[in-house]
Chain A
Amino acid sequence: MIPAAFDYVRANTLDEALNLLAQNEEAKILAGGHSLIPAMKLRLTQPSLLVDLGRIKDLSYIREENGQIRIGAMTTHYQIESSDLLQNVCPLLPECASHIGDMQVRNKGTIGGSLAHSDPAGDWPAAIIALNAELVAISKSGERTIAANNFFVDLLTTALEPGEILREIRVNKTNGRTGHAYVKMPHPASGFAVVGVAANLSFNGGRECKAASIGVTGVSSKAYRASAVETALTGAELNDSTIDSAAAHATDGIDINGDVFASDEFRRHLAAVYTRRAIAAASERAK
């Protein structure tokens, strides 16, 4: 498998990358390349120009700022998986990262590249939605912040406009008692999520759920927020039965994908099972 010919520029600064994007509508951004390059090799996409962000300084970082966790778009899955800081302040991110692809893929693939690709079975979207993250996009006309909820528009389509680059992912640090979990059934061949569910719960006293945020991937043409589940959880005393009945709403109002591995009917069931498991694990972990 050999891609069609293209031109390649390694941008040294974000400005340079933005200028190149502005000048060439067919240009594509190359981050870790683990979504784009396979598609190019299959000649499903044939960009005329690749703008490589790989060497731009300060696009790869994990830091705390203004009570937020900020992650540069070029941060690799492995950097997130192995971050002590995140392990302490936002363990959902390392947990989600550890489920992506395999070790080599995690070494090279980036969170920004993965999000901007918006694969319907990608892992990050579920976590990003559950964390109510903000995604910072930059273009020649400036920066804007997109809520995770609004970022995933459709199959392989995000809210990024032509000429925009995803620069940073921001997650608010949580206060009080919270619990996170990401659980997944991987496709036995590709490793992508047949169903992946991220849960982010916060609690009042005891087991009363103060707020719930549930992201689901693998089930539909894009990752989505399981709002009906969140509603059912919020204010509820969490136990097996309340979790079960909340999780049953995992696919409310959702068009479900089916394929040879899992029909839409089975996916609907799995979504409920994994939602239940994610909630149970998150609730268990809340300290």
Chain B
Amino acid sequence: MKQAISINVNGVDHTSEVEPRVLLVHYLRDVLGLTGTHVGCETSICGACTILIDGQAVKSCTMFAVQADGSNITTIEGLAANGNLHPVQEGFWECHGLQCGYCTPGMILTSTQIIDRNPNASREEIRRGLEGNLCRCTGYQHIVEAVEYAAKKASA
């Protein structure tokens, strides 16, 4: 039986009727058309589906949309404020932190949480923070540099 949910995504309120089994990632992509959140593994390993729910980075493929009722969500599309890139987005661009771009939205949102929690994170801490996000292209080094760039920029 479908259920009514209200979710604020990127500052916009949405009210929908969804089947309980609809995964949050599918709700964002298929119902709201926010296709920047990707599905990479479906077993909660790769992190391509990472979004922020009430400020917490979570994997939206391992959550039902009904669980997110009443919450505030930020997806990659909502990260740039007033058209200005978030420092992490800037870092990924400056440091060549992406190639095919598929893991990138999840990587970026996870990275925002890493530097929010620890603006002085060491390279090792950044790498540990990225454990829930797989990238097959970059070899991670440029991503680590992108996060460092963003941390510096954010605290400047």
Contact = CB atoms under 8 A, between A and B. Distances in A.
Are A and B genuine complex partners? Answer: yes
A162 B109 CA distance: 39
B21 interface: yes
Contact of B21 (A2, A34, A101): A2
Interface in A173-219: 189-191
B45 A52 contact: no
Contact of A34 (B1, B62, B64, B110): B62
A232 to B, nearest CB: 34
Interface stretch (B53-61, B79-87, B93-101, B148-156): B53-61
B124 to A, nearest CB: 13
Interface in A1-48: 1-8, 10, 30, 33-34, 37-38, 40-41
- From A7, A37, A40, A41, name the one whose CB has the most chain B CB atoms within 10 angstroms: A37
A8 B69 CA distance: 12
Contact of B44 (A7, A54, A105): A105
Contacts of A38: 43-44, 62
A84 interface: no
Q: How large is the interface on B (under 10, 10 to 19, 20 to 34, 35 or more residues)?
A: 20 to 34
Interface in B1-25: 1, 3, 19-21, 23
A6 B21 contact: yes
A254 interface: no
- From A6, A78, A107, name the one whose CB has the most chain B CB atoms within 10 angstroms: A107
Interface in A79-103: 101-103
A104 B110 contact: yes
B129 interface: yes
A4 B132 CA distance: 26
B42 interface: yes
Contacts of B69: 10
B72 interface: no
B59 A5 contact: no
Contacts of B114: 103
A41 B44 CA distance: 11
B3 A104 contact: no
- From B19, B21, B42, name the one whose CB has the most chain A CB atoms within 10 angstroms: B21
Contact of A102 (B3, B63, B131): B131
B56 A107 contact: yes
A1 B45 contact: no
Contacts of B56: 78, 107-108
A130 interface: no
A103 B131 contact: yes
A13 to B, nearest CB: 17
Given A5-B19, A104-B57, A107-B56, A54 B67 contact: yes
A33 B64 contact: yes
Contact of B113 (A10, A52, A103): A103
Contacts of B67: 30, 33, 52, 54
A138 interface: no
A33 B53 CA distance: 15
A50 interface: yes
Interface of A: 1-8, 10, 30, 33-34, 37-38, 40-41, 50, 52, 54, 78, 101-105, 107-108, 189-191
